[in-house]
Amino acid sequence: MPPKIKREASKRAAEDEDAGDKPVKKAKTSATTQREIRHEEGEGQTGLAPNGQPTNKVLPERVEFAPKTPGTVRVAAWNICGLAASQKKGFKQYVEAEDPDVLVLTETKVNDVPADPALKARFPHQCWSISSKKTYSGTAILSKIKPVSVSTELPGHPDSTITKGRIVTLEFENTYVVGTYVVNAGADLKTLEQKNEWNRHFETYIRELDKKKPVIWTGDLNVAPTEKDLANAKRNWNKSAGYTEAETTAFARILNDPDARGGSPSGTPTVDVDPAQPRFVDVWRAKHPDLRHYTYFGYRFNCRAKGIGWRLDTFVLSERIVEKAKVCEIRSAIYGASDHCPVVMEIDGEL
């Protein structure tokens, strides 16, 4: 999510407005979304957008999910666009229904660690990274599982005012869980260089972690990795924050995958694979190679109903643990408490 100049003028307002003039082709719908829609019909659900996701603008009256797969750990990540606002619009209902073992929150906008006894009882182990700027950014990881260690720093980055409130790392016995609210390239790409600097240091950081233990990276990554991950790729390419060659190439370089295209609408490979470096996998995309489903829909221009969005939130895993990821889904019906939908993953074994 981009910097907050004005909320109503933030995000990708211009490109959403442009995109609203173009129809979106009918798209496939995941089995999970189909189950959600069947469950919610008759409760204010208005059906599916052209891209196959629901069109509700507030949370359903009832929120239910299937129990997690036995023997797995459920991790959820959600850009809540301000904890205080989200709590008035269904935050509690979602968390109770999802009941994750680990919950990664981004854009919390809190100024102090929240005094919430119910949240503390559900997640006794919490780490809140709070921006030095009032009601801005903010990242947290809430866990039922006690971590070995906790960090809120991006090593090597020269400006802590940029990184503060944007990263939390929890080390567990077998893995690292890294939650990020990645720096945004800004309106007219005016902070793209800040984003580039973040990406350079973050790639070094995640690779250093991976040398010790496998990594689960999640949160609002503030990049649409490929042309499938936003509604109007050609129109936004190298013009809109989150979909520039610099940003998509940085993401593809972390994946280190020979099939990574660096986001280009033409599909031209822009990343050289380094065989000496391990690979990471965008798990949702790996499990849904053809879906054009999104995690962010702007409130303006009826984007939700038109299926005009961006996939900015996901799970990226060290390649060696990808097979342990049994489920990875966008909770497409959970919209209205934020302009983002949560993402959830279930992974075999203990963290």
- The CATH number given to whatever domain includes residue 109 is 3.60.10.10
Asked whether residue 67 is assigned to any structural domain, the reply reads no
User: For this structure, is 94 an active site residue?
Assistant: no
Dump pLDDT digits (tens) for 246-296.
Answer: 999 999 999 998 776 666 776 665 677 888 889 999 999 999 999 999 999
Instruction: Give the Cα separation of 231 and 24 in Å (integer).
Output: 7
Q: Which of left, alpha, beta for 237 (phi over 0: left; psi -120 to 50: alpha)? A: beta
Asked whether residue 78 is assigned to any structural domain, the reply reads yes
Active-site entry in 157, 288, 293, 340: 340
Instruction: Kindly state the tokens that stand for 296.
Output: 């962010």
Which residues are known binding-site members? 79, 107, 220, 222, 339-340
**What DSSP designation does 54 have?**
B
How many CB atoms lie under 10 A from the CB of residue 24?
A: 18
Q: Per-residue b/e over 269-306, b at no fewer than 16 CB within 10 Å? A: eebebeeeeebbbbbbbebbeebbbbbbbbbbbebbbb
Asked whether residue 2 is assigned to any structural domain, the reply reads no
Instruction: Give the Cα separation of 132 and 142 in Å (integer).
Output: 21
Q: Which residues contact 285 (CB under 8 A, 6 or more apart)?
A: 225, 226, 228, 229, 314
In the chain, count of helices (H) and strands (E)?
11, 12
Greatest C-alpha distance within the chain: 54
Domains contained in the chain, number: 1
Say if residue 89's pLDDT is above 80: yes
In this predicted structure, what is the pLDDT of residue 347?
A: 98
User: For this structure, is 201 an active site residue?
Assistant: no
Question: 117 burial class (0-12, 13-18, 19+ CB within 10 angstroms)?
Answer: exposed
Say if residue 6's pLDDT is above 60: no
The whole domain housing 83 covers: 7-62+72-348
Say if residue 5's pLDDT is above 80: no
Instruction: Give the Cα separation of 242 and 313 in Å (integer).
Output: 12
User: For this structure, is 340 an active site residue?
Assistant: yes
Dump pLDDT digits (tens) for 312-334.
Answer: 999 999 999 999 999 999 999 99
Say if residue 106's pLDDT is above 50: yes
The helix (run of H) or strand (run of E) holding residue 171 is: strand 167-171
Asked whether residue 230 is assigned to any structural domain, the reply reads yes
Instruction: Give the Cα separation of 60 and 57 in Å (integer).
Output: 9
Say if residue 40's pLDDT is above 80: no
Asked whether residue 204 is assigned to any structural domain, the reply reads yes
Could you tell me whether strands 139-143 and 167-171 are parallel, antiparallel, or unpaired per DSSP bridges?
A: unpaired
CA angle 326/26/222 to nearest 5° reads 55
- Model pTM score: 0.88
Asked whether residue 157 is assigned to any structural domain, the reply reads yes
Asked whether residue 215 is assigned to any structural domain, the reply reads yes
Say if residue 155's pLDDT is above 50: yes
Active-site entry in 181, 205, 296, 335: 181
In this predicted structure, what is the pLDDT of residue 323?
A: 97
Active-site entry in 220, 229, 282, 313: 220
Strand partners, 305: none
Q: How far apart are the first and last CA of the chain?
A: 28
Which residues are known binding-site members for Mg(2+)? 79, 107, 220, 222, 339-340
Asked whether residue 246 is assigned to any structural domain, the reply reads yes
